[in-house]
């Protein structure tokens, strides 16, 4: 017999709705937090702009401009293991929110999305591993909108400034496990 996908044990005091806790695989052994964008050649991702609008805070992450940027498909990675809480195509591209337990990350302005939307009434959520590609960054300019939300007992999720967290996280090259086995890899 398999274990249940989720147990209904918690609720959001702000909306008064029952919220299923994360699946055990999403809670087990967290990986180091990472930047959603990877290093491209000799270019590390940087904070392009900070956005504060009402209760929302976010940053645009991207790269120094290069003439070939419009030809690139830059992967956006999950900053940490979690479950897809929200995934939609909007006016400004695709947007994905991942629930990591105490924190939630939101990625916006993506040109492609590789996760499954939350399945309505069944409330089943797709599990995403840290570093797994969830979409492609927007192309003009090459960037992704990144927001960080913290769970509170009084107000549910509250937007927080992501820059102090990004300063502690590492920017990592693409994982070799994600590369196609047919492609040759460089010898060390």
| Strands of 63-172, DSSP E | 75-77, 82-90, 93-99, 103-113, 127-128, 133-139, 142-152, 156-160
Contact between 132 and 98 (Cβ < 8 Å):
no
Q: Please give the distance of CA 74 from its chain centroid, rounded to a whole number.
A: 14
- Residue 35 sits in a domain whose CATH number is 2.70.70.10
Angle subtended at Cα 32 by Cα 111 and Cα 136, rounded to the nearest 5 degrees? 10
Number of independent structural domains in the chain:
1
In a domain, 54, yes or no: yes
In a domain, 2, yes or no: no
In a domain, 112, yes or no: yes
Q: Extract the residue ranges of the chain whose pLDDT is less than 50.
A: 1-11, 173-188
Spatial CA neighbour of 95 closest among 105, 80, 103 = 105
In a domain, 28, yes or no: yes
In a domain, 107, yes or no: yes
Backbone φ and ψ of 12, nearest 5°: -90, 115
What pLDDT is attached to residue 149? 92
What pLDDT is attached to residue 87? 92
Residue 19's H or E segment, with its range, is strand 17-19
Average pLDDT, the chain: 78
What pLDDT is attached to residue 95? 94
In a domain, 181, yes or no: no
pTM of the model: 0.74
Q: Which domain holds residue 95?
A: 10-172
In a domain, 187, yes or no: no
């Amino acid at each position: 017999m398999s274990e249940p996908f989720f147990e209904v044990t918690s609720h959001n005091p702000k909306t008064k709705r029952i919220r299923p806790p994360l699946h055990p695989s999403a809670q087990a052994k967290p990986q180091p937090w990472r930047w959603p964008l990877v290093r491209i050649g000799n270019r590390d991702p940087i904070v392009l702009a900070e956005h504060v609008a009402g209760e929302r805070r976010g940053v645009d992450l991207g790269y120094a401009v290069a003439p070939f940027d419009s030809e690139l498909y830059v992967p956006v990675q999950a900053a940490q293991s979690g479950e897809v809480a929200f995934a939609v195509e909007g006016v400004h591209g695709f947007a994905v929110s991942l629930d990591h337990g105490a924190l939630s990350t939101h990625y916006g302005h993506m040109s492609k999305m590789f996760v499954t939307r939350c399945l309505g009434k069944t409330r089943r959520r797709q599990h995403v591993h840290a570093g797994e590609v969830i979409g492609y960054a927007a192309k003009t300019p090459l960037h992704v909108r990144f927001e960080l939300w913290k769970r509170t007992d009084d107000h549910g999720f509250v937007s927080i400034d992501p820059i102090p967290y990004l300063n502690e996280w590492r920017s990592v090259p693409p994982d070799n496990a994600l590369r196609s086995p047919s492609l040759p890899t460089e010898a060390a």
